Structure 1
Amino acid sequence: MKSICLLTRMLSITLIFSMLACNKEKLAERETLSAETMAAIDVQSLNGGAAVPVSWYKLELKLIKESSGFTPPVAARAIAYTGITLHEAVVWGTPWGHTLSGQLNGLSNLPKPEKWKKYNWAIAANSAMAQAIKDLFPNASAANQQLITQLEADNLAALADSCSQAEVDRSIYFGRQIATAIYQWSSTDGGKDGYLNNFPTDYVPPVGPGLWVSTPPQFQRAMLPYWGNNRLLLKFAPSDTAGAAFPAYSTDTTSAFYQAAKYVYQKGISLTPEENLIARYWADGGGTFTPPGHLIAITAQLVNDEDLSLTGAAKLFAQVGIGLNDAAILCWRHKYRYNVLRPVTYIRAQIDSSWMPLIGTPPFPSFTSGHSTFTSVSGHIMAARFGNSFSFTDHQKVPDGFAPRPFANFQAMINEAAISRVYGGIHYDFDSEVGKTAGYNLALRVLALQY
């Protein structure tokens, strides 16, 4: 083991000097990082620590289910800041890593580890994620708050034996520093208290032909109408061309809009058993871990199945989280910019007054599909990590009574999640197709960052 570690360090140092020779000015900041890190790297804590973040995401999914107000965009936000906190807590443990400070909107001047001091990065990750989740779920029940405290203690107990007490204390402190800095930054994005006010009473929906109205059977107020105004994590969002991608509203039976609604209606009354299953499998409605939660659960499963290192896991969790957060903002921006009525409203008015969709219609406009956008951005990010031909089986809905669901590749997952909303009767096909495109374009921006 010592010889392997020594060889790793020698190769890393050689690589650093080579890079500096090529572009010394550009890598000045990373030169300091690399030199400090060479004396502080704990190889074991990097390569054997992915179990720590996976354990925290499992608990976070429970909190999303059980904490009031964690609707899909609110859940996506929490997932994103958890991932960024994890990434920044461990990135200094590798000489080739890049902090997200300076790359994300408004994020700068994050704490740095002490020079030439040794850290256990799994312990830093554990304390950072514990603090982040406490901050992001302030309304967690007393029982779940106790679970947070217990998980932090259990993980620390499993990690601390291989370190001096000074290293343990230093690592815990650094993790908490990072979590506090990330949370302070997050509190200025416009979404901090979203869980408290999903249905603002001051919002008055626009009125007119083809515009969204509340839907049966609950007829709820509009959910998170201002979420699209939140600050994006990415500095540069993809161009918004969505408005040109859906047909003009019309009640003419020969129009493209009528035909799109008719397709939803006809599909709804003739679903095959498999299509029915697909609609229910991807429903992820109220009281569940939500669509963003489903996708971070798949991410955690693959991190575990593929035995990613701590830094590899941190990078992927950060990427998927950033994508989910900005997907929610961009999707909700579309929803309340175009205010397209839901299929149930159109079909009951123009085709069949007694028709109801298979699954409940969410309380916000139709265009674009959140499921499509969330799954597309996450699927393309995971494909970039594992490969376009990577096959996997999703086990996340087994506790809900579903069989494990296999996918030949990530595109198959994206396509199925997107069409599931048409099968469920709550989206037009154009909602889903444009959502898929938006998610893909967003994934390209996320992947362009340095991690």
Structure 2
Amino acid sequence: MRTQLVSVMLMVAVLQAGCGREPGDYRARAADAEPLHTAMQELTGTIVYDIFSPPQASRAYAYASIAAYEALRHDHPEFQTLAGQVNGLTPVPAPEPGAEHYLPLASVHAFMTVGKALTFSSERMDSLHAEMHQRFRGEGIPAPVFERSVAYGDRVAQHILDWMRQDHFLEIRGYPKFTVTSAPGRWVPTPPTYMDAVEPNWAQVRPFALDSAGQFRPNPPLPFDMTEGSPFFRQVQEVYEAGKQLTDEQRQIAEFWNNNPYTMNIRGHAMFATKKVTPGGHWMGIVAIAARKSGADLMQSTEAYVRTAIAMADGFLACWEEKFRSNLVRPETVINAHLDESWVPALQTPPFPEYTSGHSVISTAAATVLTDQFGENFAFVDSTEVEYGLPARSFASFEEAAAEAAMSRLYGGIHYRMAIEEGVIQGRKVGDQVIRRLRTRVEGAEPARTANSVH
């Protein structure tokens, strides 16, 4: 119900944005980033509604953002294509020479077309798509320009979708489920739902900027050894003691960064599910917050989205490659078996192996790219979780937010410290790789910072 209400509010905002404007001055609004921010938020709402796993959500954000970027960049000669930079992307169709296009419309249209193809609830995307078209029509775009721009957005979207279908995602849909073993220290399903492992073959999906999912493998986890005083025992004991002594602030931090897309709640004999934004959706929300605060125009906002989305998508690939390679048991399982059979973590344990921490990897990867985009010490108020009933939190920088997201997993009782610390290192390497390899600006153009960035 909350997601439906937000969707309606977004549609109203889109319609209102197009009201009260004189026809024919649409070119003066070409830099307005709000249509893209609205489209991104609606994609997030659809991903929440469809209950996407975090890796799947990151894939949707990446492909949709690349489509938006490639359709828009022709209006901005200082920006260059990602073709030949991201793995496997061939030159994207250009607008018809000599014919007038309105590329902000083409960009948002391409974004929503790819987003629809990557989600299940197509009617949700269709609804906002129609409202968005009405908003653009209300700006006075001549009919031939409107139709030509939509057609160009379709060509870009189709090119991205054709490329996407070669990323091995469809092939892994038919692979066998993960095999659980009884070997000590290996992952087993956890309460309360005892779900199968999520996306055990994800590392075989094609990366965007990484050479391979295993390019930045972390140090191996400590050997499983529950002898009292052993290094692994101390890791387990820290999680156990932290869970028993959580402060109100630590509990709030754990809840704020929970981002579990499907939490099963049990009250007596009743069971009900709670849907929430994924970690990737949370950070895409932070991109919108930063873009608005900095005064980023449409092209700059699109650049920020695409770089962040690629960093997170590759972060999930790197993390999932290690998760199913090391196949480490979760703290809840070990604590219940060896220390306290009644202990329950503050957060519900996600259904996949422990090492490394996904939040630590993707939050650090996103923060690394966003710092490059908007500058260091970029203070912001993160209101992403407000619609899910949680208060906003303030951060002095993207790095501070990422560090809190990482540590939240220890407070939540679902990760050992080693998974958090190694995940941060892994995520920083992924973010640095995206910065090094993907050049959105033509050589000699201004750095990838928005006009009002904090330096």
Query: Taking structure 2 as the reference length, what is the TM-score of the superposition?
Result: 0.84
Distance 2:127 2:243 in 1: 42
Q: Helix, strand or coil: the match of 2:394?
A: strand
The structure in which a higher percent of residues are helix is: 1
Aligned positions of 1:303-342 closer than 5 A? 303-342=291-330
Q: Pick closer, same or farther for the CA change 1:158–1:384 going to 2, 3 Å.
A: farther
Distance 1:128 1:141 in 2: 15
Per the alignment, residue 85 of structure 2 pairs with 103
Q: Equivalent of 1:282, from 245, 249, 257?
A: 257
Per the alignment, residue 344 of structure 1 pairs with 332
Distance 1:385 1:94 in 2: 17
CA offset digits 1:382-429 (Å, max 9, x no partner): 111111111000011112222211001111101100010100000001
Q: How much identity, in percent, do the aligned residues show?
A: 29
- Aligned pair count reads 401
Q: Pick closer, same or farther for the CA change 1:439–1:207 going to 2, 3 Å.
A: same
Per the alignment, residue 356 of structure 2 pairs with 368
Per the alignment, residue 231 of structure 2 pairs with 256
Q: Pick closer, same or farther for the CA change 1:439–1:236 going to 2, 3 Å.
A: same
Alpha-carbon contact 2:208-2:314 (below 8 Å) kept: yes
Per the alignment, residue 434 of structure 1 pairs with 422
Alpha-carbon contact 1:344-1:356 (below 8 Å) kept: yes
Q: Equivalent of 2:376, from 388, 409, 413?
A: 388
Distance 1:418 1:349 in 2: 26
Q: CA deviation at 1:450?
A: 1.1
Per the alignment, residue 151 of structure 1 pairs with 131
Runs (5+) with no aligned partner, structure 2:
1-25, 263-274, 441-455
1:77 aligns with 2:55: no
Distance 1:74 1:393 in 2: 27
Alpha-carbon contact 2:311-2:366 (below 8 Å) kept: yes
Q: Equivalent of 1:187, from 147, 165, 169?
A: 165
Q: CA deviation at 1:238?
A: 8.3
1:296 aligns with 2:304: no
1:93 aligns with 2:90: no
Q: Helix, strand or coil: the match of 1:360?
A: coil
Alpha-carbon contact 1:75-1:290 (below 8 Å) kept: yes
Q: CA deviation at 1:281?
A: 0.9
Q: Helix, strand or coil: the match of 1:355?
A: coil
CA RMSD in angstroms comes to: 2.0
Q: CA deviation at 1:131?
A: 1.2
Per the alignment, residue 147 of structure 2 pairs with 169
Which structure: larger Rg? 1
Q: Pick closer, same or farther for the CA change 1:236–1:103 going to 2, 3 Å.
A: same
1:184 corresponds to which letter in structure 2? D
1:233 aligns with 2:186: no
Alpha-carbon contact 1:243-1:338 (below 8 Å) kept: no
Q: CA deviation at 1:141?
A: 5.7
Alpha-carbon contact 1:46-1:93 (below 8 Å) kept: no
Q: Helix, strand or coil: the match of 2:169?
A: coil
2:106 corresponds to which letter in structure 1? A
Moved more, 246-255 or 287-296: 246-255
Q: Equivalent of 2:31, from 47, 50, 64?
A: 47
Q: Helix, strand or coil: the match of 1:47?
A: coil
Q: CA deviation at 1:190?
A: 2.2
Per the alignment, residue 35 of structure 1 pairs with none
Alpha-carbon contact 1:186-1:192 (below 8 Å) kept: no
